[in-house]
Amino acid sequence: MIRKVKGGYVVYSGKKQGGKRKRLSRKYKTRTAAVKRLRQIEFFKHKGKK
């Protein structure tokens, strides 16, 4: 999940953990960079599964 914040975009987890969504990245200036990071996270989350 990508959210727009002051000064850029941040990647958050899809599920809530303890009532909040976990922040998974730093702040990126462009949405394109945030999408790239989200794809990296998804790749490593599912790495090794067949």
| Amino acid (1-letter code) at residue 7 | G
Q: So what's the pLDDT on residue 40?
A: 94
For residue 49, is pLDDT > 80? no
Q: Are 23 and 50 in contact (CB under 8 A)?
A: no
4 pLDDT exceeds 80? yes
Which of 28, 30, 3 lies closest to 12 in space, CA to CA? 3
Q: Is 24 helix (H, G, I), strand (E, B) or coil?
A: coil
**pLDDT at res. 7:** 93
pLDDT band at 46 (very low <50, low <70, confident <90, very high): confident
- Delimit the domains of the chain by residue range: 2-45
Contact 32, 11 (CB under 8 A): no
Token pair listed for 6: 């002051």
Task: For 5-38, write each residue's pLDDT tens digit.
Answer: 999 999 999 899 899 999 999 999 999 999 999 9
